[in-house]
Structure 1
């Protein structure tokens, strides 16, 4: 299998039509069809469902599409890296980050790094910790910022920040009047809660309540902080999130630090231990790490 086969496959999958894909690739349609047949034979699976109105991906085709996209992305990334080796420190740094206080940290680091290396470009992706870990592990991003806990196997990590967890309380909720700056965890137990979507995070929050002999009433999970704001404003439930989220919340939402016990979110900068960092990423890692020694 060659890279051109992957490019051909992606074009056909995106256009859902051999003729249009051939025009996009500037090749004749019959050879393209043969290449796809050869690819299916090599993989031992049909990639397309051929219908009168066009093509659809089979389940095998959908899986191969994900792999093909990653392969092409990594190829382009490594090619650019090699071309830039002889030109000094330039290229693109790929960072994947969670929300909370991580965007502020990353922005501060990049601002300082950019002063030192103005020719370096940046690509920043945002998601939850599990998504960030997967992207770094797969080589789609050089460096990630996550919220612990995580399985450190296969990663190198550096704690870069800690902050308390808070409850975002809907306007008019009884706890708005009953509390001021903090809220004991026990007071949250009787109420509907919305928590981050990460499976390990849900388990962690359940453990908090288990430690005070309570069981949380978790009615929903959200992947992004914007959901937390909107759900709180809509009186769906009390949302639980690291404290930085409170800085951008609507003024009608009550932000209360969770206490008794006081619970801390730890932000960790990571990179893959099994993959050599690019020259740019290695410099960036060292630049940030020195600030936390």
Structure 2
């Protein structure tokens, strides 16, 4: 058995599709199928149940997958540490984040970490919370930042930042003429609202209104802050978003006020797959982050 057999097996086990796994490995499908068959013959068991339209791991395949992950993690870790003995910390950090303040957090951490470890490289990806969590669980990234609430099982989470919720109001709207820098939730009830698209956000915001005995009038649910900013600027509605939405742009067409009664915050958390052994560079990056966040342990 060679390492390539193990890597090929893990690729197929992750994709559950020979064609996609072959594309990921940059090889043709027939050779990949033969390599998996050779591995099964050597082990004397079937690792996959081959259905017409889907693959499924056998019980033996599930057990072999656990050992295969440990083997590859050990190979990667030993290779990294031997190289680092001569050249210092190196490797590539695969990171993912939601929008908002998360990209700024990663940028600040990378800037400081890069000064300490100039040989480390970075690969950053942005998406919504569901996509980001999915990449973490599939092993496509080492670390990620998402917003709470989250119900992702199998992840470790470290709180790294909090910010208030704000209200973006078209400057022509009557509420924009108030001199106060804050606005109470109850004042928004009669008007069309623009909110984040996550189902958990709709439940959260609806819960706030329920405490006031009112129901929100949702006209738009938006996945990206830029869209909320532009829709507000065009007068479509009033947007309720985390404070970093105000950083998208500055416009005389929009008035920004902090939401009060209730005064609520949103938390950003750093996550990683607790069932996956992190690389040395990812572990060191987490240690660096813990030293540079408020109230870190």
Q: Please, what TM-score do these two structures have when normalized by structure 1?
A: 0.75
Match of 1:68 in 2: none
Offset at 1:80?
6.4
Distance 2:147 2:18 in 1: 39
Distance 1:11 1:211 in 2: 50
1:86 aligns with 2:82: yes
CA RMSD of aligned residues (A): 3.5
Distance 2:23 2:153 in 1: 36
Q: Equivalent residues in 2 for 1:144-155 (5 A)? A: 144-151=144-151, 153-155=153-155
1:259 aligns with 2:260: yes
**Deviation >3 Å, runs of 4+:** 4-8, 10-14, 42-47, 77-85
1:272 aligns with 2:273: yes
Match of 1:109 in 2: 109
Distance 2:255 2:52 in 1: 55
Distance 1:83 1:218 in 2: 53
Distance 1:281 1:135 in 2: 15
Match of 2:192 in 1: 192
5+ residue gaps, structure 2: 38-47, 57-64
Query: 1:129–1:146: 8 Å Cα contact kept in structure 2?
Result: yes
Instruction: Give deviations 1:31-57, integer Å, cap 9, x for gaps.
Output: 67x97xx9xxx654445xxxxxxxxxx
Match of 1:9 in 2: 19
Q: 1:288 to 1:180 in 2, by over 3 A?
A: same
Q: 1:81 to 1:196 in 2, by over 3 A?
A: farther
- The size of the alignment, in residue pairs, is 257
Q: Please, what TM-score do these two structures have when normalized by structure 2?
A: 0.74
Match of 2:174 in 1: 174
Query: 2:183–2:260: 8 Å Cα contact kept in structure 1?
Result: yes
Instruction: Give deviations 1:179-232, integer Å, cap 9, x for gaps.
Output: 542111111111111111111111111111111111111122111111111211
Query: 1:163–1:266: 8 Å Cα contact kept in structure 2?
Result: yes
Distance 2:167 2:178 in 1: 13
Match of 2:119 in 1: 119
Distance 1:244 1:165 in 2: 9
1:223 aligns with 2:223: yes
Instruction: Give deviations 1:76-111, integer Å, cap 9, x for gaps.
Output: x96766643421121111111112111111111000
Query: 2:225–2:248: 8 Å Cα contact kept in structure 1?
Result: no
Q: Does the residue aligned with 1:165 lie in a helix, a strand or coil?
A: strand
